[in-house]
């Protein structure tokens, strides 16, 4: 059942100022183009200003500048995006699951599972696992031998956590996440055949981490793979063995991080980026989408690689010219030498 709040109550909860009728009742959040009476909408991007005079929302969440032209009730704050997050938590709360262990779940020996934990259908918890208070483990999830799961975590359906993984508090793992699979470690033997190198490290995950659907994090070869506090990982990310991701770094979907790379704190890595192994990325680095990072970054800043979109015909011409660059460079060098010889000048 949805809760109903007055604007005054919402303003107090999110730290906003009310303009208009503070007793206006709100029961839901909706986009500015579809909102109806009783719903609050939001205006974060200025390009949606054109809907200010046509929206049917009972109130809008926006900043002080946009509020000047707001024709309806409003909640005004300096960071409306953060305010929206808080509103969604209030107006669209997650379903609360009662604690308990479903009859079809399989629980191993010597497990320490807090009485407030929810464990859903067909979950498998292997021996010597510890699960902290308030944690939710949805259907079909597997938690491997000796793993530790902290308090107030939410493991969606079909998460796989391999043995000896350590997970902190207040983490969210979405469906299909795989934590602690073997790293990609092989070497050629004397017959030039690939021999597997045992991967005996762990994955250690801090607090307040969110991991998107179908992301995989390999266990360390000997040392641990580490995901630090506050890290946010999108869907379909591959993180290799012995990688260390610093606090509050965010990585967008389909990125790939090769083994033994260290990423600093507060970094932002765009979708589809690829990072070589055994390199270091300093704190506060931004890597744009599809960036290919072959070597360490030691100075904070924004880094990109590749070429942006072009019409196909222009792109094909650019590719031809790119292939000619080496020949053109040699030709230019010859011309410069010839010019300098004719004029008695020395090249810088």
The pLDDT of residue 46: 80
pLDDT of 1 over the 70 cut:
no
Give the residue from 65, 75, 79, 76 showing the smallest Cα distance to 26. Answer: 75
Report the topology of domain 5-91.
3.40.1390
Residue 346 pLDDT greater than 70, yes or no: no
Has residue 348 got a pLDDT over 60? no
Mean pLDDT of all residues in 291-311:
95
Q: What is the DSSP string of 288-317?
A: -TT-EE-S-B-S-SEE--S-----HHHHHH
Give me the active site residues, please.
Answer: 241
Query: Which pLDDT tens digit goes with each residue over 25-79?
Result: 999 999 999 999 999 999 988 888 999 999 999 999 999 999 988 999 999 999 9
Query: Rounded to an integer, what distance in angstroms lies between the CA atom of residue 251 and that of residue 286?
Result: 10
- State the chain's mean pLDDT as an integer: 96
> 308 pLDDT band (50/70/90 cuts)?
confident
Q: Looking up tokens 């890597």, which residue turns up?
A: 287
**Residue-range domain boundaries for the chain:** 5-91, 311-348
- Report yes or no on whether pTM surpasses 0.85: yes
Look at residue 345 in the predicted model and tell me its pLDDT: 64
Nearest CA to 209 out of 224, 226, 225, 228 is that of: 228
What pLDDT is recorded for position 119? 98
Average the pLDDT over each of 16-20, 64-68, 166-170 and give the range with the smallest value: 64-68
Higher local confidence (pLDDT), 179 or 342: 179
Give the C-alpha distances (Å, rounded to integers) separating 336 from 322, 324, 347. 21, 18, 8
CA-to-CA dists, residue 189 to 133, 194, 195, 222, angstroms: 48, 6, 6, 20
The pLDDT of residue 341 is: 87
Q: How confident is the model at residue 307 (pLDDT cuts 50, 70, 90)?
A: confident
344 has a pLDDT exceeding 80: no
pLDDT at 257: 99
Please determine, for residue 347, whether its predicted confidence score (pLDDT) is greater than 60: no
**Would you place residue 314 in the very low, low, confident or very high pLDDT band (cuts 50, 70, 90)?**
very high
Pick 175 or 340 by higher pLDDT. 175
Cα separation of the two ends of the chain: 77
Band of pLDDT at residue 299, cut at 50, 70 and 90 = very high
pLDDT digits over 106-162, tens only?
999 999 999 999 999 999 999 999 999 999 999 999 999 999 999 999 999 999 999
CA–CA separation, 287 vs 304, rounded Å? 6
pLDDT for the residue 176: 99
Give the mean pLDDT of 100-109. 98
pLDDT at residue 240 greater than cutoff 70 = yes
């Amino acid at each position: 059942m949805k809760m109903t709040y007055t604007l005054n109550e919402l303003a107090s909860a999110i730290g906003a100022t009310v303009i208009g009728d503070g007793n206006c009742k709100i029961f839901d959040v909706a986009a500015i183009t579809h909102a109806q009476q009783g719903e609050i909408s939001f205006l974060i991007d200025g390009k949606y200003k054109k809907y200010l005079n046509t929206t049917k929302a009972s109130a809008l969440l926006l900043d002080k500048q946009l509020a000047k032209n707001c024709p309806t009730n409003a909640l005004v704050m300096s960071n409306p995006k953060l305010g929206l997050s808080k509103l969604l938590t209030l107006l669209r709360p997650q379903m609360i699951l009662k604690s308990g262990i479903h009859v079809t779940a399989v629980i191993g020996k010597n497990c320490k599972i807090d009485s407030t934990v929810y464990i859903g259908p067909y979950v498998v918890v292997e021996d010597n696992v510890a699960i902290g208070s308030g944690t939710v483990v949805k259907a079909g999830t597997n938690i491997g031998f000796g793993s530790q799961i902290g308090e107030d975590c939410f493991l969606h359906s079909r998460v796989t956590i391999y043995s000896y993984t350590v997970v902190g508090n207040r983490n969210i793992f979405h469906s299909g996440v795989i934590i602690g699979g073997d790293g990609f470690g092989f070497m050629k033997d004397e017959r030039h055949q690939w021999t597997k190198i045992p991967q005996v490290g762990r994955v250690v995950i801090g607090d307040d981490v969110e991991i998107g659907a179908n992301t995989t994090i390999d266990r360390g070869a000997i040392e641990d793979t580490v995901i630090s506090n506050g890290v946010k990982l999108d869907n379909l990310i591959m993180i290799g063995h012995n990688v260390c991701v610093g606090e509050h770094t965010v990585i967008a979907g389909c990125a790939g991080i090769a083994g033994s790379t260290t990423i600093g704190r507060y970094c932002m890595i765009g979708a589809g980026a690829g990072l070589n192994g055994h390199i270091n990325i300093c704190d506060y680095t931004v890597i744009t989408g599809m960036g290919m990072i072959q070597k360490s970054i030691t100075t904070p800043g924004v880094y990109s690689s590749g070429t942006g979109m072009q019409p196909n015909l222009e792109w094909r011409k650019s590719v031809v010219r790119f292939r000619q660059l080496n020949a053109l460079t040699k030709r230019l060098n010859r011309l410069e030498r010839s010019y300098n010889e004719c004029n008695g000048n020395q090249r810088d």
